Structure 1
């Protein structure tokens, strides 16, 4: 998944974002700025990191003013430094002020996620493990946040509940057992003629053994295992299935988990714990 943002989704996002911020009008700009005034503005980097979301900002201003001119001076996913100019905008002045906050909020949020993803990916770049995101995203902003993860150098996992089967603890407990849950899932997929890969979350060695005995899935996710426990699990599973580690993994212990031999590490922190990259949009007087 390289860029999950569709034109329809983006237009709807912009409409909702502008409606939320502008309401019945930007009364300050309407009072202070002549309707035909045009100005230029610069997107200034104030903190080093990975820039992301420039094309979204361009779309925001084009939506508000089709005659606007946005020129990105940096590429999506490029490392930037304080004092650099990331983009230059020329548009109706009222439009610049109307779209400023939505554009900045979007770029800063996406850049924060991309920067964290870049930093974590670099920590394990010499190892064969792949860092993947989760569904722990901001409601309604998942396409933006998942694209930012990719721009930072990590990978997207499932986009939602619809594109992969993941049998988690609640599914297992509600079904009665891993065996029963796997049987029901595979029957469901056969009946509906669906081809979806299956991941099973396990909490201990006994559940690993049950998954291996039953089969019918492609990946085992080790939930809240210690690095030592994961090494034992990797030896037990071998190459029979893909192995994913999840839970309790952060920037400080990432390297230790990555060295256990797992194929994937899923990190909710890529999206739920990322900060914002400091940027500003300044009108040129």
Structure 2
């Protein structure tokens, strides 16, 4: 699903959740036919993500009301902004603007937070060979939007889902070798079961496992919770025969050193799991009434 299609689906569900029987407050307070204009304004610096969700929120709310709202001046995802910058303008039916406000802000604040955090990690690894990638630690229902926000921040996406690539972890290896097969033979059997285009990645918990895994001609080796010295040694031993990914407890203050060991990828669950929301507000002015 494209990020735009995902935004439409997420916004539709969010609007239904937020006002299942209409907006009682606006219906009681705002005269029918009132028009409003508003500005989305940043209250702290960051990197924008979620522009499609903003458009969808106001457009869908207007459609539900049988009216119209115009959304303009929303910067492209990936645009850096400063505190005080205008991140969009809306004008149209006041009821629709008020109904969409919270949904639009919730998504814009959260996704821009993901993009901003990602950009900070990417800046830390500048000049190294490492790519910063996300993980499957995404908010249920928001994966497509959060993954797009990671890209907006300059990061890259890991496998999209369990259906997209083979990632053999320690529990999988325990099952594979339970029948007496050695690790290399077991992994070669996995390779034989999947299409030749499928990426096969294997998690390694210690350097002692590395030779047996590499002998199976895997595509990516995931070095999980390794020390910096062991990461560097792992990269040396792999010697270009597979991509090397580092993961486990990666923080903003440690990612530079991890990237400096020569790994190709650094996966960071915190991009989507722990990013703070950004402070972005919507200032509304009623400009005309019916």
Q: For this structure pair, what is the TM-score category when the shorter chain's length is used for normalisation?
A: over 0.9
Asked whether 1:224 is paired with 2:228, we answer: no
Alpha carbon RMSD of aligned pairs, Å?
1.5
Contact 2:46 2:116 in 1 (8 A): yes
Residue 17 of structure 1: aligned partner = 14
Report if the CA contact (8 A) 1:202-1:223 is conserved: yes
User: Which deviates more, 230-239 or 74-83?
Assistant: 74-83
Contact 1:171 1:181 in 2 (8 A): no
> What's the CA shift string for 1:129-182, capped at 9, x where partnerless?
111111011111001100000000111111111111111112111222633542
181 and 103 in structure 1: CA distance in 2 versus 1, 3 angstrom threshold: farther
C-alpha separation in 1, matches of 2:147 and 2:282:
24
**Are 2:7 and 2:52, in contact at CA under 8 Å, matched by a contact in 1?**
no
Alignment match, 1:214: 216
Q: Which residue of 2 aligns with 1:84?
A: 85
Query: Which of 41, 48, 52 does residue 51 from structure 1 map onto?
Result: 48
Structure 2 spans left out of the alignment, 5+ residues: none
**Deviation for aligned residue 1:267:** 0.6
1:179 aligns with 2:159: no
Unaligned runs of 5+ in 1: none
Cα deviation code 1:18-75 (max 9, x no counterpart): 1111121210011011221111011011011111112211111111215210002433
Say if 2:150 and 2:271, in contact at 8 Å, map to a contact too.
yes
| CA distance in 2 between partners of 1:166 and 1:60 (Å) | 36
> Which residue in the other structure is 1:33 paired with?
30
Runs of at least 4 residues off by over 6 Å: none
Q: For residues 6 and 58 of structure 1, do their structure 2 counterparts lie closer, same or farther at Cα, with a shift above 3 Å needed?
A: closer
**Aligned-partner SS, 1:284:** strand
Q: What is aligned with 2:201?
A: 199
Q: Secondary structure at the match of 2:221?
A: strand
TM-score by length of 1: 0.93
Q: Where do residues 245-260 of structure 1 align in structure 2 (5 Å cutoff)?
A: 245-260=246-261
